[in-house]
Structure 1
Amino acid sequence: MDRFTRNYSIVLGLVILLALGFWVKSVWQPKVWELDEILTSHPSLSTYPYQFRVRAFKDGIAVISTPRSFDVPAIRFLEIINPKVAGKSQDDPAMIAAQQDLIDHQKLAMGLMLGQPGVTSVDWELDTQWLADHGVHRSNSQ
């Protein structure tokens, strides 16, 4: 092996190792896994049709996935997880009960996170993947 090939191979190997190190550091999030386990193992949250998940944790802020936002109204999500409310108006008692159930589960998830050491606040992140998997796109809901 000539000198250039040897040096090139060493530099290339170091670049690959460095990239691998950055990748491992970005996916290695034991605190996220620990917080997520709390949500997924809770009896009430684990039986709800939507599984709230911890997406990130940094500087005391836990980021939890949610199926609703201003872009995607709760009614679109509720019609998917509860076909009995499909086509009902927002002021229908069944729809109001379904919305309250969602709110109660979100509050429970938030409360569980805020009760954990090191968690000072909770942010919500729209779960666009879950919505897309269920045929809901932001452009369709506006």
Structure 2
Amino acid sequence: MSLDRGTKIYAAVLASICLGILLAWLLTLDFRLGEIDDMLQRDPLISSYPYPFRAMQIRGTTAIISSPRSSTMPAVKFIGLIKPSLKNLSDQDPKLITAQKELAAVQSKVRKLVVDREDIDRVEWRIDKEWFAEKGIWLD
């Protein structure tokens, strides 16, 4: 089947636009996010923790890393989600305090590994709304 001249021009313009959009999208990808995620998954302490820390964005030399805790989601409430046996314990219960220290140690290790990269100077933590939404918890 042969295309007329107008259809060929239209197809060429459409293909050029699609290639331009694809190229623009590829140029905005930051492959460092995947590198950071892979690095975190290779660490036994971090990868064995029930929450999957991940790189969300890089702005300049600042890595924005997902976090399970914030002012809207206190650590105690988060720990109750990943360890239901600790859900109804007092804030001063030794088991809950141990779980909080474990979370702090893992999060500290995440920060250290990320900041040890040559291209990252600091870490910002951002609450992982998607992870909580998957668990049926909607955060503002």
Q: Give TM class, smaller chain.
A: 0.7 to 0.9
TM-score (norm 1): 0.86
Work out the CA distance in 2 between the residues paired with 1:26 and 1:89. Answer: 47
- Tell me the equivalent position of 2:14: 12
- Root-mean-square deviation over aligned CA pairs: 1.7
Q: Which amino acid aligns with 1:74?
A: A
- 3-state DSSP of counterpart to 2:65: strand
Q: Which amino acid aligns with 1:95?
A: L
Work out the CA distance in 1 between the residues paired with 2:112 and 2:62. Answer: 13
- Tell me the equivalent position of 1:123: 124
The equivalences for 1:65-84 within 5 A come to 65-84=66-85
Calculate percent identity across the aligned residue pairs: 33
Work out the CA distance in 1 between the residues paired with 2:95 and 2:36. Answer: 32
- Tell me the equivalent position of 1:47: 48
Listed as ranges, the gaps of 5+ residues in structure 1 are none
- 3-state DSSP of counterpart to 2:63: strand
- 3-state DSSP of counterpart to 1:72: coil
TM-score (norm 2): 0.87
Work out the CA distance in 1 between the residues paired with 2:7 and 2:39. Answer: 51
**CA deviation digits over 1:24-79, x for unaligned, max 9?**
2233x332222222211111111111121112223111111111111222222111
- 3-state DSSP of counterpart to 2:71: coil
- Tell me the equivalent position of 1:94: 95
- Tell me the equivalent position of 1:64: 65
- Tell me the equivalent position of 1:21: 23
Q: CA deviation at 1:5?
A: 2.8
Q: CA deviation at 1:111?
A: 1.0
- 2:32 paired with 1:31: yes
Q: CA deviation at 1:3?
A: 4.3
**CA deviation digits over 1:76-119, x for unaligned, max 9?**
21111112211123222222221121111111110111111121
Work out the CA distance in 2 between the residues paired with 1:72 and 1:22. Answer: 37
